[in-house]
Amino acid sequence: MQIQENISLKPYNTFGIDAKARYFGTFKDRDELEEFITHNPQFNTLILGGGSNILLSKDFDGLVLKNEMKGITELHEDNENVYVRAGAGENWHRFVMYCIERSWAGIENLSLIPGNVGASPMQNIGAYGVELEDVFFDLEAFNINEKKVITFTRSDCEFGYRESIFKGKYKDRFVILNVTYKLQKKPRFKTRYGSLEQELQKMGVKELTLKAVSDAVINIRMSRLPDPSKIGNAGSFFKNPLIPNSQFKELKEKFPDLAGHSLLNGEIKVAAGWLIEKCGPQDSVSWKGFRKGDAGCHANQALVLVNYGNASGKEIIELSEEIVKSVYNTFGIWLEREVNII
Ligand code: FAD
Ligand code: EPU
């Protein structure tokens, strides 16, 4: 167990915020994790994966523990599925590529999402018509107070849109150690997401393969989303809001090109990027491309807030609050944050 003091977290968060951790350590297995927690019970603890869904609002006056638990194991298979366990510290995209190479299907639409395996259930990551819960089997997590490992099945995790029990009721109580995915031997492709269908056509794909779908997703993502190694960001800053059909109909009368789609429960998921693009600060019609100091709203994807270099977490939060107010005043919809504020 090695603890470092006063470490800059800038290399450990994709927003590139230069906040400090009072103490910092890494763990490669459950025993190392338990040692850190048992010997330092007085500190607040932050479990860190790839740092791609956090915004550091200030220095962290506690112990940051970076999960580096590795390993990918094929547990067993039946006629239709293969059950694969990955350590929480495995890089998510590398895991996706590993599965595609072995023709294990189900997560190809989730290619190129930054971060690690351990955070994938935290907010039930999703993209291009697939959510993690579609392929989730179970996970093992360490209960910080009781110091024991518990298995969570899919129903235990209470998955929702960008939600799970670990973001809600069990926030900060468990450290996810590994996740087991139930992948398909015969792919059930999901390519109905508008821009994915278009990209596959553009690529001239006649017969779907896991690699073709993954490549199409990667192309779209690279064309729309800022690369965190060039411009700091954490992907979508807000969730797409869910509103009742009646409210959507009223808004549609006023704003005929309002973008949204119906969910099975009758609610409408409205495109937050559209809402943010269609209102703006006092002297401008749109937030899209807006910049104040080094904090900004990305020019290609209004749902992504960015750090052009030296923005502080506080400046990004202030900008996000201005956007929330502006969207509410224009459309009567409150945006909820997706990013975890630390
Ligand atoms: P971190 O940011 O390190 O952690 C996120 C939260 O989970 C923190 O609260 C942390 O304490 C907690 N945590 C992390 N690991 C563990 C663990 N092992 N045990 C307990 N708690 C843990 N997300 C999507 O869903 N879909 C997308 O399409 C998408 N696109 C993105 C594009 C870009 C360019 C970026 C920068 C981000 C995007 N994201 C997307 C958000 C992000 O990549 C995911 O949420 C990802 O799963 C975060 O993983 P991480 O390891 O970086 O988590
Ligand atoms: N749009 C605009 N202006 C913008 C951005 C978007 O009008 O500046 C509208 C367009 O009409 C577009 C629609 O929003 O058709 C949807 O845009 P896009 O396909 O880019 O997806 P999104 O709703 O903005 C969501 C996820 C992303 C995920 C993509 C693809 C959330 C909060 N975000 O974004 O996830 O990659 O769909 O499935 O659900 C993340 O969670 O960090 C993330 C990047």
pLDDT of residue 283: 81
303 alpha carbon – ligand 2 mean position (Å): 7
Is it the case that residue 85 has pLDDT exceeding 90? yes
**Residue in 34, 111, 162, 312 annotated catalytic:** 162
Q: Is 129 in the pocket of ligand 1 (CB under 6 A)?
A: no
| Band of pLDDT at residue 40, cut at 50, 70 and 90 | confident
285 to 45, 280, 325, 326: CA distances (angstroms): 42, 5, 15, 11
Q: Find the DSSP H helices in 225-312.
A: 245-254, 272-277
219 to 66, 128, 187, 195, 203: CA distances (angstroms): 30, 12, 21, 11, 10
Q: Is 232 in the pocket of ligand 1 (CB under 6 A)?
A: no
Q: Please state the domain extents for the chain.
A: 4-67, 72-184, 232-341
- The 242-243 sheet, strands edge to edge: 242-243, 268-270, 260-262
Active site residue 162: yes
pLDDT of residue 74: 98
Ligand positioned closest to the Cα atom of 129: 2
The neighbour count for residue 42, using CB atoms within 10 Å, is: 7
52 alpha carbon – ligand 1 mean position (Å): 5
Q: Find the DSSP H helices in the chain.
A: 30-39, 92-101, 194-202, 210-224, 245-254, 272-277, 313-331
| Band of pLDDT at residue 194, cut at 50, 70 and 90 | confident
Q: Is 112 in the pocket of ligand 2 (CB under 6 A)?
A: no
CATH 3.30.230.10 given to domain 232-341: no
Beta-bridged to residue 151, according to DSSP, are 140
The neighbour count for residue 176, using CB atoms within 10 Å, is: 25
Active site residue 236: yes
**Residue in 120, 236, 312, 320 annotated catalytic:** 236
112-137 average pLDDT score: 98
Q: Which CATH class is domain 4-67?
A: alpha beta
How far apart CA 174 and CA 230 sit, in angstroms, is 32
Q: Is 49 in the pocket of ligand 1 (CB under 6 A)?
A: yes
Is it the case that residue 265 has pLDDT exceeding 90? no
Angle at 277 between CA 271 and CA 279, to 5 degrees: 110
76 alpha carbon – ligand 1 mean position (Å): 28
pLDDT of residue 41: 81
DSSP states along 17-75: ---EEEEEEEESSHHHHHHHHHH-TTS-EEEESSS-SEE--S-EEEEEEEE----EEEE
Residue-averaged pLDDT of the chain: 96
167: Cβ contacts below 8 Å, ≥ 6 apart: 122, 123, 340
Phi and psi at residue 283, to the nearest 5°: -100, 15
pLDDT, greater one: 25 or 266:
25
pLDDT of residue 128: 97
Predicted confidence (pLDDT) per residue in 209-230, tens digit: 999 999 999 999 999 999 999 9
Pick the CATH number of 72-184 from 3.30.70.250, 3.30.390.30, 3.30.465.10, 3.20.20.70: 3.30.465.10
Predicted confidence (pLDDT) per residue in 271-312, tens digit: 999 999 999 998 889 999 999 999 999 999 999 999 999 999
75-103 average pLDDT score: 98
The neighbour count for residue 78, using CB atoms within 10 Å, is: 9
273 alpha carbon – ligand 2 mean position (Å): 6
Nearest to 225 by CA among 12, 90, 52: 52
Residue where the block lists tokens 């450990």: 12
pLDDT of residue 251: 96
List the residue whose alpha carbon is closest to atom 43 of ligand 2.
Answer: 236
